[in-house]
Every structure is written in structure tokens, then in C-alpha cells.
Amino acid sequence: MNRAGTQHARMPELITQLPDLERDVSLALTSTFRDAGEELFLVGGVVRDLLLGRPRADLDFATSALPERTRELGNRAGAASVFDVGAAFGTIGLVFHRGDAELTVEITTYRSEVYPTRDRRPAVQHGVSLHDDLSRRDFTINAIALDATTGELIDPFGGIADLHRKLIQAVGNPAERFDEDPLRILRAARFAAQLDFEIAPATLRAMQQTAPELERISVERVTAELNRLLIAPAVERGLRVLDEGGLFPYILPELVPMVTDDRDGGAARHKDIWEHTIQVVRQAPPRLTVRWAALLHDAAKPWTRSVDEHGAVHFFGHEPAGAALARKLLKRLKQDKDLQRRVSLMVAMHLRPSSYDPDWTDSAVRRLALEAGDTFEDLVDLGAADVTSARAHRRRAAARRIEGLREHFARLEAQQALDKLQSPLDGNELMTMFDRPPGRWIAEIKDRLRELVIDGELDPDDKETAAKLARAWMTAAGDPV
Ligand code: ATP
Ligand code: MG
């Protein structure tokens, strides 16, 4: 398959990066298919990630064999079970066992997708070549095939070079490819965020042109990509791609006022809010709840802005307004209910952690923790991320306040844990047991029992052992019962 432009390289060592089971299954499948006169290649994300030295688990193969033949050859290669993943797309799932370990891989018959212009549902064609199969894939870095046994790489679109250049580039004509499946526009942004890659200029222009087509995509697919982008390591780049690609109006229209600059001749300086937001998201730990709360925490500011007689700008009430915006937006995206609840609560409370100062009473801290409920730690993390002042002394002071709150809360928790460590027997129980009136003896026994509980030598619920010990002590004290 030495067609013009196709790059061949040989890297037998790539496959050795895979865990043992993955590697052995790949080798067994590849040689079984080859012995039967069929082609079989690792394709897509696994090849890309092996070339990047990023370990990953799921294996996808492409083959010349038709699905029935794939089932038969999969069994021959030792699969414990074989099932249909997407019969229409010719994908077969195969499960392999070794000891307790289990591995599921997918094998898809080479296909090319034909997109009739009006009815945009792709019609699948089988019986095509590996080259055809690679040419229907989204980006060059995802259109590389690897022969597991020889280490041969088939790279017709220069994907390896783009991996080196850290470039996301559509296979073929970018505008046509995005028009075929507009989800690819968002996948580009998501891969930029995961890999910290740039978007090739022609690909970015095509994203801008085709962005309105995103409205054809189901909200579930959009949400899945946004979620992956938000927890990615280079999230800042991903957000900038969404902005530069002009995607916000079609996926997150609620954020357009925040993202758009110069709504009233630049006086509103909304760009500052957006730049601040990007920084807060980047500084937030990569957990979905915290990252969504970071993205939305100031989103209502453009609506709540006011200027007082001294020319000072205020955003009164932007927290509850932001919480309402977050709730609606996340509901529209069909995010899970718990995420909706947590994020809107955090947006509502996002200024609270930074208002902490060391004079706060224990009950003030308890009240905050109670109101925040199960979001307390996320909320404090958001508060720590929401510190972006250009002035170092301000950043340090804000960080100290947040750390002060964390420590104060930790002290309360430790105190509460200690308060639970009590003598298994209380005074009434001891008086009944020894038939004696109240006196110092009760405190002495309770203290000794509590010491044992604190030392972990006595369970706070173990009344039986506690009673035996108490009897022994009373006897030893010359006071037989
Ligand atoms: P990851 O699993 O890390 O998200 P991936 O590259 O494996 O990355 P998948 O969505 O699992 O992504 O898809 C597997 C492969 O299928 C891709 O590498 C790409 O070659 C192809 N592919 C997936 N979705 C599309 C699409 N919408 N258009 C074209 N090709 C696609
Ligand atoms: Mg994948």
C-alpha cells in the first residue's frame, strides 16, 4: 500500500509500552488475522497515545475482515466471548481472560462513510481499504494505523508529523469534514485541551465557519465533550479554542455576554471577567464539579453590573443570579442532577470562603460548613482558585484566609472526633453497677476508661469489657464489690 503521500515508519518497540495482557492480545489477534489472509491494525486513540508515550487501556482495531469472519477469527485467537457492539457499523467486541484479568477490545471492519448532502445520516460502506478507513477519521493524529506484530505504522495524512508539531488538523477538507459531523468541531477543542495542542489555522477557520452547525448535534454529545474538555490538563487552551472558534453562541449561549468583549464600547470590561474566569478554571483542581463552578461563578456579572456615584463598579447579587443561571444551563445540558445541585450551590456561595478571617467563631465556621453540606471541600477549593489578583501581596493574603478556614474547620472536625471518644459507661451506669452514691470515684473510673478509648485499646461501645475493668479497679482499690 505504497500510495503517494503515505508515510511508513517501523517502531516495533511501541507495542511493548502496552501492559502485558493488552500486548499479548494484540499480538495474538494480529497474527491470527494475518494467517487467515486478513489485515488487522491498531487504530485511533491507542496509536496516538502510544506515539505520545501516554499509557491507556482501550484497544481499537480496524480489519479487512467482515464482521462474521471477525467473530470466527476472534474465537480462534482465544476470545472468551464475542458480541456485537454496533451491528450497523460492523463493530465486534471481544472479551479475553487471563487469570482474574479481563480485557475487552473492539474490532471494526474497514469502512468509509458516505454523507448524502440532504439527509445527513452517514451511510456505511464496507469492503474498502485501510486507506479509505483512515481517510474518514477526524484528525490526522487519529488517522494512524499500527501493525502490532511488525511495528509498521501507516500514516497517510502526516499524523506523526502533526504529533511532533503538536497540531490538530482535520483529515482532508476541514469545512467538509466538520459539516459531515459538527461534533468534530468540539472534539478538536477537547483534544487541544487534553493534549495541549494547537489547532491548525485552516482547521480553526473551518471551525469558525461551521460553528452554527453545532446546533444539529444532540445535547448529550455536546455535554460529554465539554465535560472532558473541562477536566483536561490544558483546559485554558480548550476554553480559548471555544472562544476563538466562535463556538459559545451555539453551545453555551448563556456565557456569551461574559466572553464577548466591548459590549458597551469597552467600558464594561467584560473581557476582564472572562480572563479572570479562565484563570480560576485553570487554578481549580481538575474535578468536574469544581471546574464547572469555576466556569460559571461570575457568569451573571454582566447582568448585575452597576456603577456608583464614585465611579466604582459593583456586581451586587451576582452570586444568586449566577446560581440560577448555572442551574438552568446545566439542566439544559442534561447534566446529572447532583452536578446541577452542587454547582449552583457553590456558585451561590462562592464568595463565602474568602470572607473568612481568624476572628470567626467556631459556630460561624460550622454554619458555613452546614450550608455548604457535601460541597464544602469543593467550595473551599473554588475559593482558593478564585484568587487572581495581579498583586502578589493580595494573592498571599487571600490564600492565607482560605488556608485559615481549612485549618479552622479541620480543628473543629478533630475536636468533634475527640468528643465522640467517651467512656463506654456513664455515671448512672456505674452507680447502678456498684450500688454506690455519686462521688469522685465515678470521674476516676470514667477518666481511666476514656484514656483507654483514646489510646485505641477499648472500643467506646464495649460496655462488657469496660465493666470488667471497672470491677477489677474497684477491687484493687480495696473496695470489693
Ligand atoms: P479517546 O478515547 O481518548 O477519547 P479516541 O481517539 O480513541 O480518544 P474515540 O472517540 O474513542 O476517540 O474514537 C476512536 C477513533 O475513531 C478516533 O481516534 C478517530 O479516529 C475516530 N473517530 C471518533 N469519532 C469520530 C468522529 N466524530 N469523526 C471521525 N472520526 C472519529
Ligand atoms: Mg477511544
211 and 327 co-located in one domain: no
213 and 140 co-located in one domain: no
**Best of 48, 61, 138 to mutate for ligand 1, by most ligand atoms within 8 A of CB?**
138
143 and 220 co-located in one domain: no
Compute the distance between CA of residue 425 and CA of residue 466 in angstroms, rounded to an integer. 7
Q: Has residue 355 been placed in a domain? A: yes
| Residue range 336-383, pLDDT digits in tens | 999 999 999 999 999 999 999 999 999 999 999 999 999 999 999 999
Compute the distance between CA of residue 472 and CA of residue 460 in angstroms, rounded to an integer. 18
233 and 173 co-located in one domain: yes
337 and 443 co-located in one domain: no
What ligand 1 atom has the least distance to the C-alpha of 44? Answer: 18
pLDDT value at residue 435: 93
Q: Has residue 261 been placed in a domain? A: no
In DSSP notation, 296-341 reads: HTTTTHHHHEEE-TTS-EEETTHHHHHHHHHHHHHHHTT--HHHHH
304 and 397 co-located in one domain: yes
Instruction: Indicate the number of domains in the chain.
Output: 4
pLDDT value at residue 477: 82
Compute the distance between CA of residue 77 and CA of residue 70 in angstroms, rounded to an integer. 10
From the CA of 61, the nearest ligand is 1
Q: Has residue 296 been placed in a domain? A: yes
* Helix pair 235-244, 201-210: axis angle to 10 deg: 60
Could you tell me what percentage of the chain is helix, strand and coil, using 3-state DSSP and rounding each to the nearest 5? 55, 10, 30
> Does the beta carbon of 138 sit less than 6 angstroms from any atom of ligand 1?
yes
> Does the beta carbon of 181 sit less than 6 angstroms from any atom of ligand 1?
yes
Residue 271 alpha carbon to ligand 1 centre in Å: 34
pLDDT value at residue 264: 53
**Residues near ligand 2 ion, CB 5 Å cutoff:** 45
Residue 137 alpha carbon to ligand 1 centre in Å: 7
Q: Has residue 63 been placed in a domain? A: yes
> Does the beta carbon of 45 sit less than 6 angstroms from any atom of ligand 1?
yes
What single-letter DSSP state applies at residue 266? T
Domain that holds residue 435: 427-476
Residue 30 alpha carbon to ligand 2 centre in Å: 19
409 and 442 co-located in one domain: no
> At which of 165, 194, 209 does a domain end?
165
Q: Do 27 and 96 meet the contact criterion of CB atoms below 8 Å apart?
A: no
Residues of the chain with pLDDT under 70: 1-7, 114-124, 126-127, 261-271, 479-481
Q: Has residue 422 been placed in a domain? A: no
204 and 238 co-located in one domain: yes
pLDDT value at residue 255: 96
Closest protein CA for atom 12 of ligand 1: 45
Closest CA to 319 of 351, 366, 286: 351
Closest protein CA for atom 26 of ligand 1: 138
Residue 138 alpha carbon to ligand 1 centre in Å: 7
60 and 87 co-located in one domain: yes
pLDDT value at residue 4: 45
378 and 330 co-located in one domain: yes
What CATH number corresponds to the domain at position 233? 1.10.110.30
Closest protein CA for atom 15 of ligand 1: 44
40 and 156 co-located in one domain: yes
> Does the beta carbon of 335 sit less than 6 angstroms from any atom of ligand 1?
no
Q: Has residue 100 been placed in a domain? A: yes
Q: Do 160 and 51 meet the contact criterion of CB atoms below 8 Å apart?
A: yes
pLDDT value at residue 460: 87
Residue 108 alpha carbon to ligand 1 centre in Å: 13
Q: Has residue 327 been placed in a domain? A: yes
Q: Which long-range contacts (CB under 8 A, 24 or more apart) does 25-31 make?
A: 25/59, 25/77, 25/78, 25/96, 25/103, 25/105, 26/59, 26/148, 27/148, 27/149, 28/77, 28/78, 29/61, 29/73, 29/74, 29/77, 29/94, 29/105, 29/107, 29/148, 30/147, 30/148, 30/149, 31/149
| Three-state secondary structure readout of 457-475 | CCCCCCHHHHHHHHHHHHH
What ligand 1 atom has the least distance to the C-alpha of 190? Answer: 4
Phi and psi at 478, nearest 5°, equal 75, 30
Q: Has residue 266 been placed in a domain? A: no
Q: The C-alpha cell of 386 is what?
A: 478564585
* Partners of 108 in beta bridges: 62, 91
72 and 150 co-located in one domain: yes
| Residue range 70-123, pLDDT digits in tens | 999 999 999 999 999 987 788 999 999 999 999 999 999 999 876 655 555 666
> Does the beta carbon of 285 sit less than 6 angstroms from any atom of ligand 1?
no
> At which of 381, 415, 449 does a domain end?
415
> At which of 415, 436, 465 does a domain end?
415
Residue 43 alpha carbon to ligand 2 centre in Å: 10
